[in-house]
Structure 1
Amino acid sequence: MVVANRLAVDSVTEPDGTQGWKLSPGGLVTALEPVMRSADGAWIGWPGSVDTHVEPFEHGGITMVPVSLDQTEVERYYEGFSNDTLWPLYHDVIAQPSYHREWWDSYVSVNRRFAERAAALASEGATVWVHDYQLQLVPGLLREQRPDLTIGFFNHIPFPAYGLYSQLPWRRQILTGLLGADVIGFQRTADAGNFARAVRRLFGYETRGSSIRVPLENTDERRPERSRTVVARAFPISIDSASFAELAARPDVVERARQIREDLGNPKTVLFGVDRLDYTKGIRHRLKAYAELLEDGRLDAADTTLIQVASPSRERVAAYMELRDEIEMTVGRINGDFGAIGSAPVHYLHHGYPREEMVALYLAADVMLVTALRDGMNLVAKEYVASRIDGDGVLILSEFAGASDDLRQSLLINPHDIQGVKEAIVTAVEMDPRERKRRMRALRRKVLENDVAKWSATFLEELARASHATASSSAPTRDGVELEEAGS
């Protein structure tokens, strides 16, 4: 069973006007769909629209179990606590988090509803895999109700250092929720280390390597036989790299890439950035670096073009509305200062694209810019590499993205260092073709070997080991502190 904020399907309107469902295109769904089908699995999640009350249904061999959210819950649990409290806090407080008790109450209530749904549906001894920061209380709540289950949790975003995490008024309750899992997965080793340090500081539990000893309730925590072991370590997520390579080989996609360059006037160099419109992605930083290179004369707007795709994101949150205004003003200023009739140095596109179009853009781009200020992984970097079946192209990658741990043959940058970003762009533009191909070969080898199927298999293998270890010992009882109200 998978428990995630969103269902694995999206609602669609059929040609005859009836409502139907299609599998979501995300990497998580791609990774888990074969496993879920073979295991006769269930996927619990929110359908994505307010007050949508739908009974469980079958789709593609998977039981979909919708959880309804009303307007207040969307505002408080999702837009509020998840995306205006946890998201900025977990991304190094790039934007200031907001702490509101009513948001927390809604977060607890919704997490409890997800946990109750899973507890009611899971068969005896089932494996339940909970996903992401919106549902951090579910493992603990689920363990209270169903100690027979094997529970995994994967955090798709960073986990902050204790100095930042300690600001959260409900810091102990979140940790207790997560420690209900048998295996807790993070994108980077540093994230797992941050989590373990928070557990030591707040609870004093023993941690050794990737293991955390969690005492059972009402027992002497010094007695290891009266505790359970939680594994917390890195499982870096990846993509369905083979599908991107297959798309990149399709004649229509190759032709579309050629057409994109032609539509741009066949510039010497195409720079490309694609992100959700989010303050963590460093879009402002790359625009500033590019503008300065044009101003310095180190790049010529006549033969250099930057395509920036910024897909809409959380448009009801104030910080995102302000970010969009700032980026669009910056783009207008660059084009006004350096553009000419019939050509613009920046092509800014504020909407999403289907995967085929994205692969065509990857093929058309000479240089990929990933300037995230903080990112759990950044799968765009891996998508670009997987799509470059021609072995060409240069990836400029922030060292603050999880992908930088694996993709060492990219040009690694500190996005806060604008001068360093500028130098990396010039290096990429002027790089010898043989060096470009050498680096891309190494990057592609890494991405193709470590795809999303390997990620899910590795996590589930760890979870199976945890299940076996739990079965060999006494079944755990109710674990953790109550989710009482805290903070101001």
Structure 2
Amino acid sequence: MSRLVVVSNRVGPVKDAARAGGLAVALVDALRARGGLWYGWSGKTDKRSADHASIEETDNLTLATVDLTPREYKDYYNGFANRCLWPLFHYRIDLTAFDRSYYEGYRRVNAKFAHVLYPLLRADDTIWVHDYHFLAFGDELRQMGATQPMGFFLHIPFPAREVLAALPHHDAMVRGLFAYDVLGFQTERDCERFRDYVVREAHGIADGDTLHCFGRSVVIRAFPIGIDTEGFARIAAEDKDACRQYDKVTKALAGRTQIVGVDRLDYTKGIAERFHAYERLLQEYPDARRQVSYLQIAATSRGDVLEYRQMRDELDGLSGHINGTYGDVDWTPLRYLNKPLPRRTLAGLYRASKIGLVTPLRDGMNLVAKEYVAAQDPEDPGVLILSRFAGASYQMPEATIVNPYDTKEVADALQIARYMSLQERRERFEALMKRLKVEDVARWRDDFLSTLAAVPRRRPISAAS
């Protein structure tokens, strides 16, 4: 079995992979089983430009990391990755920074990562590259002569052709993706959008799940990412910390119905729209007042980006408005926390919450929806309200699917969920869990790697191709 090389923006954790979540567990298990190398950014900046990786050997696998200079961090990470690709791929053209210097910095850093990794590669390695930080990485490796099987998985949505075309150098970005042997997307819709771009914009040819363009071929397929469903269910039901949190919350609720939302603080998550929908519930259904409690956890991320600071200010204002208008001395309608919580704590919170509110405006998959379901008590499960624009909605049709932009529809869904019968809740839960157990994170990993293994080895790409 060939060694697996995983490339991602951040590396690890390894020792605490179980605490980090199903994705880390799946990758670490595969790396350990095959003997592996996990490579990416160290998370540190240094004024000196690194030309080699820092190596750490642990548990039959190797961790290799590279520092970035402050300028590289500004242009590659904060700039092109998170102020350009992230908003654009989530259909927020209005927030996209079309700065050519960011693109140039992104290309330089992708080339730097490739040049540092190349000497560490073995001839029979299998390379698996992750996410929008490395769209140009595979092309750089191929130009250096790498012929190893190489796959790429995009964790975020792929945008419609007309949206992607707004990006300067969009053609170069897509051309670079043809350096990979397999391109994995979260949903069939993402595959369709990529295929549409290649055929109609780049004049490529589609042959089943293989695309031919730029003198190269690539297999594209949907690999919807899952969670460690049974493992998370055990945590929620048996772990001491989770059970302690469940008991604490249940006691504090005193019979009220808890609605829970858990997200990174990001404009793609639709948290402001969610707050407005909750306020509409309290306005239009007075019987909900004092009978519900909404807990929104939104861990701060990218706090040095202006758009995120503005969003936090907006949410602070909305939560204060709702509590000031509807709250009482012994009832706080909305509790809003800006800090991350351990997974075991979250498992207990999910189990204690009779409604899970997962309404992103656009999301590649959204694993919170899956974790919420897995954490439920099979005898008395809660109700998942899920955005139609989350990739998870295609796998989870038994959830209550809503349009997150329609505050009336979301408010009505919350009211319906409050009174949903036990029989209906069980039927929905059982159908969801049956699928989540089959389509878990291990299947996602194994399906991708087996698809990559079946693709014939390619010859080096010449610089003129």
TM-score w.r.t. length of structure 2: 0.94
Alpha-carbon separation, structure 2, partners of 1:34 and 1:99: 39
Alpha-carbon separation, structure 1, partners of 2:307 and 2:164: 20
| Number of the residue aligned with 1:134 | 133
Q: Does 1:28 align with 2:23?
A: yes
| Number of the residue aligned with 1:18 | none
Alpha-carbon separation, structure 2, partners of 1:171 and 1:479: 20
| Number of the residue aligned with 2:35 | 40
Of 285-294 and 251-260, the range deviating more from structure 2: 251-260
Alpha-carbon separation, structure 2, partners of 1:263 and 1:416: 32
Alpha-carbon separation, structure 1, partners of 2:224 and 2:347: 23
| Number of the residue aligned with 2:399 | 410
* Amino acid of the structure 2 residue aligned with 1:445: K
Of 110-119 and 196-205, the range deviating more from structure 2: 196-205
| Number of the residue aligned with 1:242 | 230
Shift of 1:351: 0.2
| Number of the residue aligned with 1:449 | 438
Q: Judge conservation of contact 2:152–2:180 (CA < 8 Å) in 1.
A: yes
| Number of the residue aligned with 1:224 | none
* Amino acid of the structure 2 residue aligned with 1:403: A
Q: Which residue of 7, 12, 22 maps to 2:11?
A: 7
Spell out, residue by residue over 1:23-67, the C-alpha distance to the aligned partner (whole angstroms, 9 max, x if none). 471433211111111221101111212229772111232101101
Q: Identity of counterpart residues, as a percentage?
A: 38
* Amino acid of the structure 2 residue aligned with 1:6: R
Q: Which runs of 5+ in 2 are unaligned?
A: none
Q: Judge conservation of contact 1:277–1:312 (CA < 8 Å) in 2.
A: yes
Q: Which residue of 414, 417, 424 maps to 1:428?
A: 417
Q: Judge conservation of contact 1:130–1:153 (CA < 8 Å) in 2.
A: yes
Instruction: Report the 3-state secondary structure (helix = DSSP H, G, I; strand = E; otherwise coil) of the residue aligned with 2:44.
Output: coil
Spell out, residue by residue over 1:296-317, the C-alpha distance to the aligned partner (whole angstroms, 9 max, x if none). 2344331110000001111111
Runs of 4+ with >6 A deviation:
none
* Amino acid of the structure 2 residue aligned with 1:45: G
Spell out, residue by residue over 1:446-470, the C-alpha distance to the aligned partner (whole angstroms, 9 max, x if none). 111111001000000000011xx23
* Amino acid of the structure 1 residue aligned with 2:435: K
Alpha-carbon separation, structure 2, partners of 1:81 and 1:345: 39
Shift of 1:476: 4.5
Q: Which residue of 321, 333, 354 maps to 2:342?
A: 354
Shift of 1:387: 1.1
Alpha-carbon separation, structure 2, partners of 1:366 and 1:9: 32
Q: Which runs of 5+ in 1 are unaligned?
A: 11-20, 217-227, 482-488
Q: Does 1:333 align with 2:321?
A: yes
Q: CA RMSD in A?
A: 1.8
Q: Does 1:49 align with 2:44?
A: yes
Judging changes above 3 Å, is the alpha-carbon distance between structure 1 residues 443 and 270 closer, same or farther for their aligned structure 2 residues? same
Q: Does 1:363 align with 2:351?
A: yes
Of 87-96 and 451-460, the range deviating more from structure 2: 87-96
Q: Does 1:122 align with 2:121?
A: yes
Q: Does 1:192 align with 2:194?
A: no
Alpha-carbon separation, structure 2, partners of 1:72 and 1:477: 30
* Amino acid of the structure 1 residue aligned with 2:133: Q
Q: Does 1:372 align with 2:360?
A: yes
Alpha-carbon separation, structure 2, partners of 1:478 and 1:399: 43
Instruction: Report the 3-state secondary structure (helix = DSSP H, G, I; strand = E; otherwise coil) of the residue aligned with 2:293.
Output: strand
Of 430-439 and 49-58, the range deviating more from structure 2: 49-58
Instruction: Report the 3-state secondary structure (helix = DSSP H, G, I; strand = E; otherwise coil) of the residue aligned with 1:4.
Output: strand
> Which runs of structure 2 are paired with 1:243-392 in the superposition (5 Å)?
243-250=231-238, 252=240, 253-264=242-253, 266-391=254-379, 392=381
Shift of 1:432: 0.7
* Amino acid of the structure 2 residue aligned with 1:263: A
Q: Judge conservation of contact 2:378–2:429 (CA < 8 Å) in 1.
A: no
Judging changes above 3 Å, is the alpha-carbon distance between structure 1 residues 127 and 330 closer, same or farther for their aligned structure 2 residues? same
